[in-house]
Amino acid sequence: MPGPKRKYSVRFPPGRIKKIMQRDTEVGRIAAAVPVIISRALEMFLKSLLTKTSQVTQSKHSRVISVAHMKQCIETEKVFDFLRDLVEQASAQSSLGKGKWPAHRKKWQDISINAKQHEAAERMKRPQNDSLDAAELSDVGICFEDELGS
Give per-residue pLDDT as tens, 45-60. Answer: 999 999 999 999 999 9
With a cut of 50, say whether residue 143 has pLDDT above it: no
Cβ density class 30-66: b for 16+ within 10 Å, e for less: eeeeebbebbbeeeeeeeebeebbeebbeeeeeeeee
Q: What is the pTM of this model?
A: 0.55
Mean pLDDT of 63-89: 91
Provide the pLDDT confidence category of residue 140 given band limits of 50, 70 and 90.
Answer: very low
Return the DSSP state at 78. Answer: G
Residues in the chain: 150
